[in-house]
Each structure stands twice: as structure tokens, then as C-alpha cells.
Structure 1
Amino acid sequence: MDLSAKAQPVHVLLVAAPGEARDAYERELVRVGVSFDALDSPADLRGPMAERLYNGLLLDLATWIRCPAQKRSTLQGVLERFPVLRLLYNPEQGGLRGVTLGGTVQQARDMEAFLLEQCAGFPARSFRMAERQSSICNVRILERPDQPEAEGLRAVTSNLSEAGCFLISCRDFAAGQQLWLVFKELDDHEPIAATVRWLRPWGESMRLPGAGVSFDSLNEKQQRALRSLHREPA
């Protein structure tokens, strides 16, 4: 399917060091019909580039690993806000493979399917880092928008911004999963649609488990309320 023919064309950012792997990624993007910008390193994501609008991020895994650890930590907030496909290139083992955040190499994703199923339906936004604070809020996680609030899974948030948050929970989620969130601290208890972007499963590290989510839509009242919450001291 040629994604360039869609009413709202898909535009993504490719982060990969120059070389054979990047050439292969760019050929595939041209074949699929997706417009893209390319960066040599995640460290280059600044200035005017960070203000452009994208529907997703393609990240060469080897390039990401070579990026300084401190810079990777800073950019984690970006990964929480977009559909992300980590790319591996090995011409001797089938060429190009993609792995979503929270997935494994054994769960390889096709780039074209990722662009069609996740990026095409994702509202374009900039990579400008939203102000984040470790605000602790109480939230109910719903599996559908009409689910009674009292039946929702109890969780708390960290790294809250107007773009998304991290949900602290031992529940198993899936990348790309749709959730609806009700914040106890907000006067407006209308569920907020959110999409799981990355995962930190229980038991895999000495850090709090949960899922990074991006907010899909907020009404003006919710935007103002979240802005107030994430600016308050934690």
C-alpha cells in the first residue's frame, strides 16, 4: 500500500548513522511511499528539527546503543510520546527487522505494517520535549470508555505531562494497547484516551514496573487541569 496516497500523509523521523543499514531503511521508506527526515544520531534531535511534526519514529538499534547513556535517558521521554520501531539490519539474516518498544527480536515487526497500523492513525506531533515532573497522581485504568470507573485498575502516575505519563502498575500491558484513564485529582472524570508506547515489565529491572502512555485526546478543561497538576511540586 502506498501511504503517500492517504488524505493525511504519514511523515516519520528516521534516526540512523550513515551507512548500509540507513540506505536499506531509506529504500524501504521510499518503496512504501512515506515521507521522512533522517538524523545521524539521537543527539541531533534539537533546534528546528524538534519542532517538526511526525507520526512516528524509526530508530536504528546500533545507532541508539552508541548514543551516550545520559542522552538516551533524556530522550526516553520522546519514546513515550510516539509509535517507535527499533530497526536492525543484517543482510545475512533476512535484511531488515523491526522491534517495537517492549517487544523482543523474536517478535519482529514488518516496517510497512508498523507504518500502516500505528503511524498512519497517530496524530502528528513535534518531538519538543514536554515539561515533565514526577507528579504522583491516582488513576483508574479502564479497558473501554464506558467501563464503570469503580471497576478500573488502580494505579499511580509519574513523569506526568500534557503529552502523556508513566503508569506504575504490575499489570501486563501490550505496546499499542488502547486504554482510558480517569484521574482522581481532576474534577472532570471523563475518561482520557491513551495508547501504550513502551513497557517496563515487573521483575526485569530494579525500577518501578509499568507502561509509558501518550494521551490521544484531551478536552480544553483536561488540558488546563493536567498543566496545573504537572507543574505543582511533587
Structure 2
Amino acid sequence: MSIRVLLVSEEGPARRGYLLAIGGPDVQVDVVDSPRSVKERIQTSTYQGVVVDMHTLMRDRTYDKRELFRLEERLPVIRVRLDPATGDIAGVSCGEAIRGKASLKEFIVSQCGCAKSSASPLAHGVPLNLAVMICPSRSSPEEACGKSVTLRVALAGCSVFAPAPPEEGALVWLVFPDLNDRTPIPSRVVWRVPWGGKRAAPGMGLAFASLTQAQLRELTDMGLSGPQPPLAPDLQDV
């Protein structure tokens, strides 16, 4: 099985140099041109490491670089720089320096190859538009709930269109009118994109805290797969 990593680098000679250094049959590389795209990508795809071009990182002065430190708690992250004169690559990960194309590839194979993947609740999600009501509490009346539609759905969570999504970590309750079992589903906001925040549809990613047995069966019958949350009522009062 190949190692899948995310490369954060603007278009140009540096990106091409990194791809030549780390590419190959044993490594699959996805590329984004902005650090702002990292969070959304790791919520929807599975990665074992992240390679960040320092020039690309420093150019975005408004990006909260603390997000990289939080990411390092989950995945190997290496910051790299390519010397345009020599083509040499230098990097640092967790205070340890590496130098040279071979050293970068060795880091990918040794560190990322042994890392657990960044699989998220949406890593196994599929595009699926289900009507959904977003409620502030389990007992909220229907008129107090926002009405929206899902963008992707998995057994462990979903992404939902929302112009003004709640803050990350917030608990909301989802009601799916299309399901026979309309028990409110407790869900945590794991990522958010507010309206106007970037060139992307506004919305949020949600991780289900629990599902009823009937809800799990209905979602499975829709062809959904992936990790499963605990069954209710274990976490209904999260």
C-alpha cells in the first residue's frame, strides 16, 4: 500500500522539485497551493503526512500557523525549503533537520509510512443530498431549527451547507426527515467554512456522537460505509 501525503506548495519550481523528490510508486502525493486548504482536505481525505513549503507558508500572513502545531499532534509534518540555485532541499520536523532530496524521501518513508492515517469522519463519505434540520438542543421545536441539506454523508458524520456555521467543537442536534427514525443525532462541529471565508461553499463538517440502531441500518442500506459511532443511548447526552 502506498503512502499518501499532502504537499502544500504554490505552483512553480519549488513544487516541481518536491514532487520529483518524494514521488514514486510507493508514495501518492496530493497538492494544495495554500495552507488554508489543509484543514478541509484532511477532513475529507486520508493522509499519513504533510509537507509544507516554507515560502508558501510565510507568504500567507493571515494564516494561523498554530494550526500546523495542532496538526503535528496527529500527523508527521515537515517544513521544507528548496534552494533555487542548487535545487537542494532542507527541512525541519519536530526540531530535527533534514537536508537533501534523499533525506526528504527517507523522512516520508520512515516517518509517514509508520504513521496512523488522518482518517476523519468524512474520509469515507459520499456525495449525498439529504434534507436536515440543525437544532440547538435535542428537545428544540422545529421552528427553532435551521433547515439545510447535506453535501457528503458517511456512517460517522456528514458535511452540511451552512452560511453561518457554529464554532468548531459546538454540539448540535441533527434531524433527518428522510429517515424513518427521526431521533435527533448529537453531532460535533469538526470544521467550518463561513460564507465569504474562502472560494468554497459555506458549511461545516459534523461527527456523529451516536446513532440509533435503526438509523445505522438505514444509512448502511444507503450504501454508506466507514467507521461507526457508538450506538444510542450511550452518548445521547454528550
TM-score (norm 2): 0.48
Larger Rg: 2
Q: Whose helix fraction is larger, Structure 1's or Structure 2's? A: 1
TM-score (norm 1): 0.49
